[in-house]
Structures are given as C-alpha cells and as structure tokens.
Amino acid sequence: MKASIISILKIAMVGLLLLAVTNATAGEPAKGKKAGDSQEQTLININTASMEQLVSLPRIGPAMAQRIVDFRERHGAFKRIEELLNIKGIGPKVFEKLKDRVCL
C-alpha cells in the first residue's frame, strides 16, 4: 500500500513538472520566428548586406544603414556582431533588437 502511494506521488510529480515546462514555453515564438509568422526570419549578414537589407532591420533607417556601411568600409569586415555597438546611434537597447537578426 505504502509503495503504491509513493509510485502515484512520483507519477504526479513528473506530470506537474511536464506541465510547468510546457506552460513556461507556450507563449514564446520558436527561435528565428516572429509570433504569428509561419516562415523563418532571414538573418542579415552585416558584412555583405546592402543598404536596403540593413534598412529592413528594426531601428535601422537609411542614415544608420549608411553608418554601418561606412564603418565596414573603414574598418573592414565585422569580426563580432557586438562591434555594431561601436557605431554612433547603436547602443545596448538597439543592439538587443538587432542581435538575433544579424550574422557574420
């Protein structure tokens, strides 16, 4: 009797853990996707992107895209995406919106 109660409690605990994990991730979009999107986001290569591609990124307008291109021409290829922080107008908040949308 005691062993069966312990077994039932173990099964209940596993069920609760699974439920907690499922609920914790239920509202998040899949990595590389926007909520409501059925296709994956395309990463923009900051070493080869055109002005038009750069402008498609969040918080990047024509002036900021030009700064990225100018930086790239002066300093060569980006070695790390964090180097975007060296560009005037790209601070931690803007970088946070860009980091999952860009690659090298």
Domain extent listing, the chain: 1-33, 42-104
Q: Determine the pLDDT at residue 6.
A: 62
Q: What is the pLDDT of residue 102?
A: 97
**pLDDT tens digits for 1-31?**
666 666 665 565 554 444 444 444 333 343 4
Q: Per the CATH hierarchy, to which homologous superfamily does domain 42-104 belong?
A: Photosystem II 12 kDa extrinsic protein (1.10.150.320)
Phi, psi of 45 (to 5 degrees): -80, 110
Give me the pLDDT at residue 30, please: 39
pLDDT digits (tens, 9 = 90+) for 39-97: 567 899 999 999 999 999 999 999 999 999 999 999 999 999 999 999 999 999 999 99
Residue 96 vs residues 73, 81, 82: alpha-carbon distances, Å: 24, 11, 10
Coil, helix or strand for 102? strand
> Which pTM value belongs to this model?
0.61
Q: What is the pLDDT of residue 45?
A: 98
Task: Identify the pLDDT of residue 11.
Answer: 66
What pLDDT, on the 0 to 100 scale, is given for residue 41?
77
Residues facing residue 21 across a β-bridge: none
Task: Report H helices in 26-91.
Answer: 51-55, 62-75
